[in-house]
Amino acid sequence: MSKVAIQGNASGTGTFTIAAPNSNTDRTLTLPDEAGTVLTSASDITQNSGPAVYAHSGAGQSISNSSWTKVLFSTEGFDTDGCWASSRFTPNVEGYYQISAQLQFNSFATADSYLTSGLSMDGGSSFIRILSRDVKRSGGYNYGAGGASMIYMNGTTDYVEFFVFQSTGATKTLSTNQDNLYFTAHLARTA
């Protein structure tokens, strides 16, 4: 039979009290079979702490025809751990990150063109393509590209940037609206 032991600390002078709640219902508190720290609602350590970033808007960035171009964000909504700089997310905790990004071209008027966006890891030439579309109709339509991906990052040197590729035959301008141009990232789970 297991026992519960409360062990005092010889260095302290305070009294630790376990108080029962005001309840007419019997409750059972089951402790896990592992060592560790029990967190309370007043703890400054939380299980889901870690980097989180939201950046949005742009300055009407021009995107050249038929070349991958890094998307620039002019406004930082929040950056909990100082991991956002120069439109680049470089987290300081090793783990798995949920990354999402969105962009939009206004009046994307050329039919039979191609639009895709991607996340680049560490400035490499390969992209995680998160949305591709063939534009099949002409006119003053707004076309967007974006999506989300889960990415492992080492917490020291790995970084992610958002890129776009369009093939209309001309330079196009991105929307400046924060609803149509944004980047978010957060730690989903440590490694």
CB 153 within 8 A of CB 95: yes
- Residue pair 69/164 in contact by the 8 Å Cβ criterion: yes
Residue type, 149: S
What percentage of residues in the chain have a pLDDT greater than 90? 33
The pLDDT of residue 160 is 92
If you compute the radius of gyration of the chain from its CA atoms, what whole number of angstroms results?
Answer: 25
For residue 136, pLDDT beyond 70: no
> Which tens digit of pLDDT belongs to each residue from 69-126?
999 999 999 999 999 999 999 999 999 999 999 988 876 666 556 777 888 887 766 6
Question: Over the chain, what is the mean pLDDT?
Answer: 83
* pLDDT score for 181: 92
Q: Which residue has the higher pLDDT, 24 or 113?
A: 24
Could you tell me the domains of the chain?
52-190 (2.60.120.40)
Give 2's contacts (C-beta < 8 A, 6+ positions apart): none
Residue 94 CA, distance from chain mean position: 14
Sheet holding 52-56, edge to edge: 75-79, 52-56, 182-190, 95-105, 143-153
Counting beta carbons within 10 angstroms of the beta carbon of residue 90, is it exposed (0 to 12), middle (13 to 18) or buried (19 or more)? buried
Q: CB 54: neighbour CB atoms within 10 A?
A: 19
